[in-house]
Chains A and B, each alone.
Chain A
């Protein structure tokens, strides 16, 4: 939404401490959200709020979540019952997804070779040394590009 994630989606909010967290997805049994700026240790209470922002707000019981500086985990093309999962990766040279042929229907995969450069995708890396820039927008007024506007 204007380059930013909403903190209320489908009437749902997630409170990390007292701060609304940016929401990626709301499903019947799961909410994907981004952790807010929290300390690197200790615990924080997390609550789900329905009818968020209305007079009928419903708050779940707070759940205590342990904090740490990082909790890395790769994204996977597939999660198997065995726990052995192909990491979401792209071959930098060919642009092909890295995996065995037929891993997912309709997608072309090729295994990596020694010497190949790959990109692997993960989350939970924690705070970065360079903070992401806030969204920047430009607008055209009377044929002149104006901006940036934050």
Chain B
């Protein structure tokens, strides 16, 4: 869960080495229920800043698992405190919602 934002979840993942360039589908499955198909992440070699690397094995989170037909992913919840900082994103989502109750 994301602090201060009810209903907003976040997951952290590392883009696997060898992932090809292009729009890579990502599907999240929780308790056997998959997120709708169509969601993707754009990947392009050399475009990112891979300053944070880890050799740690991928972790799993109880009933939470990921299925990614084109983009195998792993994630470590709460591994990167910085990721809590996303006010701009919330603002964008709220703006798309129109008037909000906040």
Interface of A toward B, CB cutoff 8 Å: 1, 3, 5-6, 9-10, 22-27, 32, 34, 68-77, 82-95, 97-100, 104, 107, 110-126, 128-130, 132
- The B interface is mostly helix, strand or loop, or mixed, namely loop
CB contacts (< 8 Å) of B11 on chain A: these are 119-120, 122
From 7 to 64 in chain B, residues with beta carbon under 8 angstroms from any chain A beta carbon are 7-19, 23, 26, 28-31, 33-53, 62, 64
Q: Which of B7, B39, B62, B80 contacts A87 (CB 8 A)?
A: B39
Which positions in B face A, CB cutoff 8 Å?
1-4, 6-19, 23, 26, 28-31, 33-53, 62, 64, 79-80, 82-83, 85-86, 89, 92-94, 97-102
Query: How many residue pairs between the two chains, A and B, have CB atoms under 8 Å in the bound complex?
Result: 200
Minimum distance in angstroms from A14 CB to a CB of chain B: 11
- Say yes or no: B12 contacts A111, CB within 8 Å: no
Complex Cα–Cα for A99 and B8 (A): 20
Q: A interface, by DSSP: helix, strand, loop or mixed?
A: loop
* Cβ–Cβ contact B33 & A118, under 8 A: no
Cα of A23 to Cα of B102 in the assembled complex, Å: 9
> Contacts A115-B48, A121-B89; is A9 near B101 (CB within 8 Å)?
yes
Known A5-B6, A90-B83: A72·B42 in contact at CB below 8 Å: no
Measured CA separation A88–B35 after assembly (Å):
14
